Amino acid sequence: MGVKDKIRRKYGEKASALLEMVPEGLSPYVSDDLLTCIKTYGIDTVTEVLEREHFHKMDGKWGFTHLDAPCKALYRLKQLGEPEGETVKYDMKFSGRVQDVGFRATSHDYMNMLDLKGSAENLPDGDVLVTVEGPQSRIDLLKELLKEKFEISNIEETQAGRTVKA
């Protein structure tokens, strides 16, 4: 039984929007990832992530890019509620095991799902600089999500000319 049949059997009509976006012929690994995300974050969250086009085609086969990261970010954002306060901008220098582990791609996925503007770039010293702009509560959530996923030893933040150790 294919992944689409499994989803259809378990979720019925509620899964129709998601099933329209899921291509045929997913690899077992990608299928398992999709099913795990549905189980963990709910079918509505996964559907919304796919509606934001977090999948791509590689080598003639469909796969999902970092599906867990945007699902987790969107799920936590829904728990957080609407942002309060003004928009702020930070440069955050992340130290630890942050290069060659998908840190920048995951940062972009999280920022996209949290409706933050920003970028992430590798630094020559092995750190990663993340520049991000948006509501403070969402930036705080971004930091939490990155800390949970990666081995971060230190975050040095700069906002409006002042430096804060996080």
Which one is catalytic: 122, 138, 154, 162? 122
* pLDDT surpasses 90 at 94: yes
pLDDT top residue among 51 and 129 = 129
58 and 91 in a single domain? The answer is no
Active site residue 122: yes
Contact assessment for residue 105 and residue 89, using Cβ atoms and an 8 Å cutoff: no
Active site residue 52: no
Which one is catalytic: 8, 9, 97, 104? 104
23 pLDDT tier (thresholds 50, 70, 90): confident
Its domain, for residue 54, covers 3-65
Q: Which two tokens stand for residue 61?
A: 């086969």
The residue assigned the tokens 């970010």 is: 73
130 and 59 in a single domain? The answer is no
pTM for the structure as a whole: 0.74
156 and 91 in a single domain? The answer is yes
